[in-house]
């Protein structure tokens, strides 16, 4: 029996688009901060007597596509281990599933670490990141604590995340809607690449944004970090909105939160907005400013649930 904990990550430079759907190789690199909130805890137990794998999410047995995705991932682990023993997977999530709060990232990062240990693979951090990527692309970044770059790479061996030096950053998560989203990010990503006339421009611009972000982090230039973060997120949403049939994740309340970030900046508090594949908005700021940003945002958006977050640890084993 092996148990692992992993946390979600929020990208400053987004991953949106694959060049290989099966191996989950991205079209561009991306860069994120792994947080210290909303952990996922997963236990993997080998069960030689079982007919097949079993997965339980927050006390509810997984079926259909969700169960198939777990088994497909475990098949990768079993192939590497050279064994066929089924496993029982028990997961507790504290992040609302499917609401654009990166539950698949923490979920597959925790599963990768727990399953690799349960099947005796003995993987280092890079190999764990590659393995987690096979479950869900963004999960490769949650293997790493704090700021992480996911190198796009050109094959399985070269596409992994690793730590990058970064100034101390914090985030304030504004939970606009904790319900499940209408179009999964996996499907939306494919539709964007297939139908959006802005897909190529997104890929080209993001490669440049990633280089610029690495420079901004190295210089400790909060203004550049924030402006790149906000612009890259809006470019991703522009590409997504260009899909046909269209997909729009940002709600009126999401846009209002981008405006609120601009107002905080006008008052001299550096906060910048980003949003993933859902209506929730995350404000990025210096770690020392997190409480200030949360409190000042609460005055402007009193009905929105706000969660202050700091850099958190990479996925790791814990005692059962
Ligand atoms: C990111 N997102 O960089 C971007 C920004 C959502 C918006 O990574 O198909 O769930 O499992 O590789 O990792 C969501 O995509 O997609 C995501 P798959 P994943 O965080």
Alpha carbon of 138 to ligand 1 centroid (Å): 5
Q: What is the pLDDT of residues 92-126, one digit of tens each?
A: 988 655 445 657 999 999 999 999 999 999 999 99
* Cα of 125 vs its chain's centroid, Å: 17
CATH fold for the domain made of 2-166? Ribosomal Protein S5; domain 2 (3.30.230)
- State the Cα–Cα distance between residues 283 and 294, nearest whole angstrom: 9
Q: Which atom of ligand 1 is nearest to the CA of 135?
A: 11
CB of 280 closer than 6 A to ligand 1?
no
CATH class of 170-310: alpha beta
From residue 248, alpha-carbon distances to 18, 149, 184, 245, 284 in Å are: 20, 27, 12, 10, 22
Q: Enumerate the domain spans of the chain.
A: 2-166, 170-310
CB of 103 closer than 6 A to ligand 1?
no
Q: What is the pLDDT of residues 229-276, one digit of tens each?
A: 999 999 999 999 999 999 999 999 999 999 999 999 999 999 999 999
170-310 has the same fold as 2-166: no
CB of 134 closer than 6 A to ligand 1?
no
Alpha carbon of 203 to ligand 1 centroid (Å): 15
CB of 136 closer than 6 A to ligand 1?
yes
Alpha carbon of 277 to ligand 1 centroid (Å): 8
Q: What is the percent of the chain with per-residue pLDDT over 70, rounded to a whole number? A: 97
pLDDT number for residue 102:
56
- State the Cα–Cα distance between residues 117 and 202, nearest whole angstrom: 38
Alpha carbon of 123 to ligand 1 centroid (Å): 24
What are the tokens at 37?
């909130």
From residue 247, alpha-carbon distances to 160, 190, 301 in Å are: 29, 12, 25
CB of 254 closer than 6 A to ligand 1?
no
- Non-local (6+) Cβ contacts of 133 within 8 A are 24, 139, 140, 150, 159, 160, 161
What are the tokens at 127?
């190999």
pLDDT number for residue 66:
92
pTM for the whole thing?
0.96
Q: Is the ipTM of this complex over 0.95?
A: yes
């Amino acid at each position: 029996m092996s148990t692992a904990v992993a946390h979600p990550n929020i990208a400053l430079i987004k991953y949106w688009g694959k060049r290989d759907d099966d191996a989950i190789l991205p079209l561009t690199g991306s860069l994120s901060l792994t947080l210290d909130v909303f952990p996922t805890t997963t236990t993997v137990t080998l069960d030689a007597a079982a007919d097949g794998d079993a997965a339980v999410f927050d006390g509810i047995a997984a079926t259909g596509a969700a169960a198939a995705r777990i088994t497909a991932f475990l098949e990768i682990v079993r192939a590497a281990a050279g064994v066929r023993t089924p496993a029982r997977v028990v997961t507790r999530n504290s992040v609302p599933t499917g609401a654009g709060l990166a539950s698949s990232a923490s979920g597959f990062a925790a599963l990768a670490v727990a399953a690799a240990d349960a099947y005796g693979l003995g993987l280092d951090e890079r190999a764990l990141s590659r393995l987690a990527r096979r479950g869900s692309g963004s999960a490769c970044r949650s293997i790493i604590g704090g700021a992480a770059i996911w190198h796009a790479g050109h094959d399985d061996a070269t596409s992994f995340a690793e730590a990058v030096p970064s100034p101390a950053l914090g985030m304030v998560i504004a939970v606009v809607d904790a319900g499940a989203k209408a179009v999964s990010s996996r499907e939306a990503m494919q539709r964007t690449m297939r139908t959006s006339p802005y897909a190529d421009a997104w890929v080209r611009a993001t490669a440049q944004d990633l280089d610029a972000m690495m420079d901004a982090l190295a210089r400790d230039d909060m203004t550049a970090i924030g402006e790149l973060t906000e612009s890259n997120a809006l470019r991703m949403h522009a590409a997504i909105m260009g899909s046909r049939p269209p997909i729009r994740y940002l709600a009126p309340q999401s846009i209002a939160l981008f405006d609120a970030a601009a107002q905080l900046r006008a008052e001299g508090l550096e906060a910048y907005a980003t949003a993933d594949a859902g209506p929730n908005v995350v404000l990025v700021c210096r770690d020392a400013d997190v409480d200030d940003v949360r409190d000042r945002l609460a005055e402007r958006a009193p009905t929105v649930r706000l969660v202050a977050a700091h850099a958190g640890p990479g996925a790791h084993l814990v005692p059962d």
